[in-house]
Chain A
Amino acid sequence: MRLLYFAWVREKTGIAAEDVDVPGDVATVAELIAWLKTRGPEFANAFDRAEVIRAAIDQNQARHDAEIGGAREIAFFPPVTGG
């Protein structure tokens, strides 16, 4: 599964994109975040305030309770500030 990080989520994790093998029992965005936080202090820090982080599954914004089964690309980013 391809994971993308944008804005301060990217800065805190230290990477923009990576391909990962997600454990089979990780079923939702929230569970994916919980698993990511176990991968090291920079991930624990990036996802510390998980409730403010937005997610997208295959380029569609998704809630944290959305299922990730079959997803090719999941992105994490802060609330948007364009315009």
Chain B
Amino acid sequence: MSNPFDPKLKKFSIITPIYGECYDTLDKFFGTLNESEYQEFEVIVVFDGENLKGEKELKKYMKKYPEMDIKSKVIEHGGAPKARNEGAKMATGDYLTFLDPDVYLYSDTLRFWADKFEEHPEKDVIWGLYDILTGEGKKSTIGGSIPVDKDGQVDYYALKATNYISGAFPVRKEAFLGWDESVKSLQDWAMWHRLLRPDFTGEKFLYICDYNPKYKVWVGRSFFVTEPIRHGGISNDSHTNWIDRLGYVKSLSDIPYPEICVTSQGAPMHALHVAKKLEADYLPLPQFKPHKYKMVYLLGFYTAGQSLQSHVSVFDDQIKMRAMEGKKVIHFIGTDVWQLRHSISWQMIQDIKNWLKMNKIVVLSEVDYIQKELSDLGIKSEVVPIPPQKLYEPMPLPKEFSVAVYDNPSQNMYNEKLMYNIAKAMPDIKFYFFGNNEKKFIDGNIEHLGWINLDDYMDKFSCNLRVTTHDGLPLTPIQFFTAGRHVVSNVPLKGAISTDEDRKNIIHAIRTAQTTPIDPKVAQYYRKELDFNKYVKSIRRILCQK
């Protein structure tokens, strides 16, 4: 924590390039800086080209805020990256933050950043969300579309395909590698790439994220607010030359333009992981700018509510963009087919069928029983199972037989109450419920674990109980199979001890699991079928199909 009485407070250098008449926001800009709770900063204004009016304007604020350390410099016009680099040269602070004059920090932001840098000496960059003004004093939060895993962690592989980090976020001065002055557009992306190269692990980056129990998601807090993007400005990402501009930044980091782009709305982490395995780009929904991917691969086709529109538009926009040569692939995962059957009308299903056919969209399913469900709706699909991120090696079973139940209250598909009653009906067996972050307590033979990493618990579990309303190819049971465990399920999984949704039958199936030795062939089967090399081969084969 920064101590307000500590004379050795770390200092921010706020570097602000001004080009032409872009100084009309200075009043608000300096006003917010003046209100900052953390006052250990300098402001370095760099005029990108001679700017008499601008300099005169700046003097007003130097006079208005005599306590504020404001410096300025005029350079020969060379673009914003050059101006920022020149400003960085003058910087005497510990942390650099490149704030354009239309970026307004919130009053606690600098203090928050200073504290985080102190807490995390191993990190060089702190970033998160920010707001953008949308007119009439309203604002919307952006920068939140990056997939975040169950621990609030970011996989920086996503930065290979597109930028998520505003150039206004702070970087330690000694780590700063400069702005590439040859980059005309997507400058911040290129700047962060320098710090992410070559492996894109992002281990020096700290994403500020908190678990929001109300919405059951990990979200960041907002650090500043910006004016809306000016029309006609180069940062207003028009579609002109988009592919070239994007390709140029990628080329600086030796990132090839991949053949496949993976996208998803319902399963972004899964899609990002799959993209990595396919050496593909991952882009969040909604999209799309022009592209030259040979395949756009949509993971999950969730048709409830508004989602249908954004899913359909993935390809419709492509069609409008005349990028139709590319292969279009939809992979039905999880409960997609169930959603399709239950949450939209029969007529809508017919429309979707026609749309799939007309646009020559390749439909994939994960497992034979889903293929059949799709086929019953008149949709032809090929089975390509998607492996879980991790398969286990068979490991010894715990001494006492125990049952693990995934408990996700947000989806209402896991028969939570029935599972709980079954656990209570079998008091001689230890039950673990996991997945529900709000529940961590012990109730007799039932232990609620909350979110867990399966790695830490697999050796305590003998058996996975999964009775769902509907399932695709569920990943958790497969992880249990590969670890050499029983699975009791109403999903027709190979090797599972099958049950239906009847209490008595479930209990008997669990007793069967308790007394039946593990067949090692089941683990072998899933290791062989759910191999990522096999998966990648299947997708590449589809890519090459005429």
Q: Do A and B bind each other?
A: no
Give the B-binding residues of A (Cβ under 8 A): none
Give the A-binding residues of B (Cβ under 8 A): none
